């Protein structure tokens, strides 16, 4: 099977350097192996996601030379597939109805990045029988550790029951969970490599359990360290971090951005301006440094 990488942003704001670094790493890894790279818009999280943010993200990625091989899939258009998958899991006896706290429910559709924290479900109603899609649903997870290999972090093991507990997959009002949408679409799009920020490492074991329940192949994983602002604070799509156009308005050129990202991924010794294509032959996961890194001060771009 042809290697397939993907970048799966949520269109909640502008892509910052950390997001762009993830996009470039997944693109380079796919291209270095002669593979396919696709973009998927993860917009199941209704009110937080906006079409125009997604369009802007696609333009910024294209400015860096990163374009989807094949149509961009928007998750908000895929309720049918998610519904069918839930029916299947329900028929397998793996789902149970649940009445959770409002807070758990409100975060269901968004990827649980660091600031949201993880709250494992304690299993109050896991013996309830599945009765269809007119109620909130969780998947009953098996006990035990999940072991996998991360291309940056090395061997990993987690007990998903301790981290997330039985994951919530559906909300009574018809909203599908992030876990469900990610796993279904990675499977359908035959994604063989998942590259994302280290703040999502802790949901990997839960997503692997869901793949197993659905009989889907397990992709390779690479979790990249986060990029922080020069003052050490977190870069956030929703917190006014600079996007490509804002950096350009400050006099930073696209080759400078790509050059810095390529350097941060171990493809070149100095952050010299270059094009994404130039980095393809120099990319290897073994050279990608671990840990977080600091975005350049404005002056550093100009110096």
For the stretch 144-150, contacts whose Cβ atoms lie closer than 8 Å and that sit 24 or more positions apart, written own/partner, are 145/205, 146/204, 146/205, 146/208, 146/209, 148/204, 148/205, 148/208, 148/218, 148/221, 149/220, 149/221, 150/201, 150/221, 150/222, 150/223
The CB-side HSE value for 202 (13 A sphere, CA atoms) comes to 16
Q: Which is nearer to ligand GLU, 19 or 130 (CB)?
A: 19
Q: Which is nearer to ligand GLU, 194 or 210 (CB)?
A: 194
Minimal distance, residue 10 CB to ligand GLU, in Å: 4
- The tokens for 163 are 């981290």
DSSP category for residue 156: E
Minimal distance, residue 60 CB to ligand GLU, in Å: 14
Torsion of CA 130, 82, 43, 98, to 10 degrees: 0
- The tokens for 61 are 């990625």
Q: Which is nearer to ligand GLU, 196 or 271 (CB)?
A: 196
Minimal distance, residue 33 CB to ligand GLU, in Å: 19
Residues that bind ligand GLU (CB under 6 A): 8-10, 42, 111, 182, 194, 196, 200
In the chain, what is the straight-line distance between the N-terminal and C-terminal CA atoms, in Å? 45
Q: Which is nearer to ligand GLU, 238 or 250 (CB)?
A: 238
Minimal distance, residue 231 CB to ligand GLU, in Å: 23
Q: Which is nearer to ligand GLU, 222 or 257 (CB)?
A: 222
Minimal distance, residue 44 CB to ligand GLU, in Å: 9
């Amino acid at each position: 099977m042809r290697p397939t990488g993907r970048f799966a942003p949520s269109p909640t704001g502008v892509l910052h350097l950390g997001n762009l670094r993830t996009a470039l790493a997944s693109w380079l890894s796919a291209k270095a192996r002669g593979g396919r790279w696709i973009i998927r818009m993860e917009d199941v999280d209704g009110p937080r996601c906006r079409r125009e943010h997604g369009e802007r993200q696609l333009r910024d990625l294209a400015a860096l030379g990163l374009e989807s091989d094949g149509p961009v899939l928007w998750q908000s258009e895929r309720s049918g597939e998610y519904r069918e998958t839930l029916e299947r899991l329900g028929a397998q006896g793996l789902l149970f109805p649940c009445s959770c706290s409002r807070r758990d429910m409100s975060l269901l559709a968004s990827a649980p990045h660091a600031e949201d924290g993880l709250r494992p479900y304690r299993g109050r109603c896991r013996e309830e029988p599945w009765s269809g899609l007119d109620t909130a649903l969780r998947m009953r997870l098996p006990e035990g550790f999940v072991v996998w290999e991360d291309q940056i972090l090395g061997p990993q093991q987690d007990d998903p029951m301790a981290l997330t507990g039985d994951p919530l997959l559906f909300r009574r009002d018809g909203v599908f969970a992030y876990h469900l949408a990610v796993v279904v679409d990675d499977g359908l799009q035959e994604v063989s490599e998942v590259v994302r920020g280290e703040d999502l490492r802790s949901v990997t074991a839960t997503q692997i359990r869901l793949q197993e329940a659905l009989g889907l192949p397990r992709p390779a994983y690479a979790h990249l360290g986060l990029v922080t602002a020069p003052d050490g604070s977190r870069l956030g799509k929703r917190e006014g971090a600079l996007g490509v156009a804002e950096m350009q308005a400050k006099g930073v050129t696209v080759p400078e951005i790509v050059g810095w990202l390529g350097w941060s991924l171990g493809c070149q010794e100095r952050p010299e301006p270059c094009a994404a294509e130039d980095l393809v032959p120099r990319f290897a996961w073994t050279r990608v440094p671990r840990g977080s890194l600091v975005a350049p001060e404005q002056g550093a771009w100009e110096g």
